[in-house]
Structure 1
């Protein structure tokens, strides 16, 4: 949507942008908005929450789509954004069948997709970002996609040259330190004191034990996937991971044996059940899992030696 608005204003800086609130729309308002202007100024009509539309807006948009090919003002653009749900599906089908451009935006859920989003936004701005910086951003802010994108915008505005892991740490150190991923990274490295310190800080700042266990599970799964690939030539996509995740997992695996990974997997699975109602003390359950993972990694290092 930002690019569409930028394109409209790049074509003509006098373009008027009109935002329509779908939930409060009244009948025939659209007729006025898409009618030719007295002075011929270009206009962009934006409906950002189409799924909230009133029956009146649905009726008017269906009529507009049906007649626009023959009678639409070429100086008027209409941009509709549907954020999901069943409301307005008939309109979406009509727009799709009309030949007008439709952009489908599937949910961005996996760390790999979030990493790709960050990298693409930075590249679109003509800048570069270090893989470690991408990973740090996703770890710190990946649970909220809008916040993640806003962080990219802020870094682009406030830094110059390549965005580094140091830049991310400077702006978001507190967020990074308070996430379950920091706990998981320290545990995977076998650093007991750092992992427990990070865990207590995360809990003290409001991080749910369930989230910490989820981060541990993600970390252990990634290590196991990369370990299982062995010497086979598997791409990050084959492993369901971002390239920076694969590179980090390969570095971290130097301290793990297969038996140690198995021990960690069992410990995290047990903690997952305990923090979801199987234990009276969820924090203690997580702490025990973290200690088990750290000890397993230490034994794995000994075994490999």
Structure 2
């Protein structure tokens, strides 16, 4: 377990936080140590990390004892009692939740415990980062006291982060999914990473072949229809009627015109950035600060477009953006005009 220590600093973890010198371990590849700090707000990643550590330890010894306690409702002496060796010296895993709300009794005993962890015991502490409570304990662990490791679970918020998360789900399972199918899946569950994870796992479990656009549509078509990106993708592909139908479904499902226009603007900007470029996708992605899949998608989206039509669409998106944000009394009509210009690649009414 001593190998979990790292002599290289990973840098500060934000203003006022102590630089970490312990090993940083991916939540996708968790491993045990005397002290395991699972930090950050992304609960689906934290749950995977905790389950992974339990499975790792149980594979080493099926006699593993697992105990769950709460740091905010802690009773003195409990940590030592649960980590102490039993008569037959079975390995012990003690999972402690709510460290960000810990009471004084827990904080005092946890600080003392990490100075001399019990042999054969793994103590896992879950801190969401929602408060600074327990900071003294976290700082001590990050400085190497107790021979611990940290598994960071930062929030997954941006589209690129959600895309990387979903791609990681399929890659970890050794499965392949079409880039467009992945994009559709991510946009369908853009509001909830937990639901996105569940959708990925369902496809992995149910589908034996490579996962295509048709498969994602069959499973999650009802959700996909209300996606802003589906409206934009359909219009950019030149499918005017289908794009208007998708727009109506999106609006009927409660979608707001503002993010729909934002989806158009983002995709059109990406197309404009790669238009005419002769570099490889990887080189272009590095130069433009884009993901390689984004470059590939933007290039494919450019099929059938030219400099004039792309400029026309970008102008229409800028006009629609102003209109849905207050410059027009009818934001829905503003989006309909944008869909028509993009899908037909002609001026509205032209």
Shorter-normalised TM range: 0.7 to 0.9
Deviation, structure 1 residue 117: 2.3
1:50 alignment counterpart? 99
- What do the CA deviations read for 1:162-208 (whole angstroms, capped 9, x no partner)? 33333322211111111111101012122221111101101111222
Greater RCO structure (CA 8 Å; 6+ sep): 2
Deviation, structure 1 residue 106: 3.9
The 3 A distance-change label for structure 1 pair 227 and 206 is same
Deviation, structure 1 residue 82: 2.7
1:167 to 215, 232, 236: 215
User: Which stretch shifts more, 105-114 or 158-167?
Assistant: 105-114
Q: Is the 8 A contact 2:312 2:346 kept in 1?
A: no
Does residue 269 of structure 2 align to residue 221 of structure 1? yes
CA distance in 2, matches of 1:165, 1:151: 14
1:82 alignment counterpart? 127
CA distance in 1, matches of 2:152, 2:331: 40
Deviation, structure 1 residue 249: 1.6
Does residue 82 of structure 2 align to residue 37 of structure 1? no
Deviation, structure 1 residue 224: 1.9
Deviation, structure 1 residue 215: 1.7
1:182 to 230, 236, 259: 230
CA distance in 2, matches of 1:55, 1:117: 37
Segments of structure 2 that go 5 or more residues without pairing to the other structure are 1-48
Q: Which has the higher helix share?
A: 1
- What do the CA deviations read for 1:211-242 (whole angstroms, capped 9, x no partner)? 322222221122122226x1234343544444
Does residue 239 of structure 2 align to residue 191 of structure 1? yes
2:302 to 207, 229, 253: 253
How many residues in Structure 1 have an aligned counterpart in Structure 2? Answer: 293
Q: Is the 8 A contact 1:135 1:245 kept in 2?
A: no
- What do the CA deviations read for 1:43-99 (whole angstroms, capped 9, x no partner)? 22223443333343333322222x23xxx2232111223323442333222111014
2:141 alignment counterpart? 95
1:60 to 84, 105, 109: 109
1:73 to 99, 105, 118: 118
2:53 alignment counterpart? 4
The 3 A distance-change label for structure 1 pair 63 and 280 is farther
1:302 alignment counterpart? none
CA distance in 1, matches of 2:245, 2:174: 39
User: Which stretch shifts more, 280-289 or 213-222?
Assistant: 280-289
1:303 alignment counterpart? none
TM-score in terms of structure 1 length: 0.84
1:14 alignment counterpart? 63
2:19 alignment counterpart? none
2:279 alignment counterpart? 232
Deviation, structure 1 residue 103: 2.7
Q: Is the 8 A contact 1:21 1:49 kept in 2?
A: yes
The 3 A distance-change label for structure 1 pair 23 and 257 is farther
1:263 to 309, 312, 321: 312
CA distance in 2, matches of 1:258, 1:185: 19
CA distance in 2, matches of 1:270, 1:27: 64
Partner secondary structure for residue 302 of structure 2:
helix
CA distance in 2, matches of 1:253, 1:121: 29
The 3 A distance-change label for structure 1 pair 39 and 146 is same
Q: Is the 8 A contact 2:83 2:118 kept in 1?
A: yes
CA distance in 2, matches of 1:273, 1:48: 47
CA distance in 2, matches of 1:49, 1:217: 41
Partner secondary structure for residue 81 of structure 1:
strand
1:281 alignment counterpart? 330
